[in-house]
Amino acid sequence: MACGPGYLQGLTSPLSSARLENQPYIEGPWLRACGQTNVSCRVVKGKLVEVGKWPWQVSILFLGTYICSGSLIHHQWVLTAAHCLQRSKDPSLYSVMVGVHQLPENGTQLPLTRMTIHKDFSNLVSQDIALLKLRDSISWNPLVQPVCLPNIKFKPSIGSMCWVIGWGTTGKKG
């Protein structure tokens, strides 16, 4: 994507249920679309960045400090890695920040009421998945949107394009 200074790309078309028939699983009236982005470009620290490209990405905080990323999958649920929650099993010590593009940046910080870690998680590789339940339901806006989830039968074809997003270090050491 190419963006010029102050150029607003505009809202992408939401994925309809018909387009998602063989891929993401959609259930319930709470979700009318997923995978929707609203990209605008701006200069941050001298570099052109695409704000709103990953509106489902959240920052997971432990005692107010960033520890991991997650993805919004519902108005009250975040999908993340189980290893992110090894510091404590007390959900009140964790929170989630939504609507953030770069760290540190102020966003809406939301408390948790529950953490569900896969029952077979025991190391950093196997079954490394968890769900976080937000205390309050959030409203979608251009910078806060749900990600699409595949159905149980979905198998990506060889050569499929995939992305990994987060606020980690880039390069050989990160």
Q: What is d(CA 21, CA 140) in angstroms, rounded to the nearest whole number?
A: 23
Q: How many CB atoms lie within 10 A of CB 41?
A: 20
Contact 100, 107 (CB under 8 A): yes
Which strands form 38-44's sheet, in the order they lie side by side? 8-11, 38-44, 47-51
What stretches of 73-163 adopt beta strand conformation (E)?
77-80, 94-98, 108-117, 130-134
Contact 52, 38 (CB under 8 A): yes
Active site residues: 83, 128
| Residues 6 or more apart whose Cβ sits within 8 Å of residue 166 | 57, 68, 69
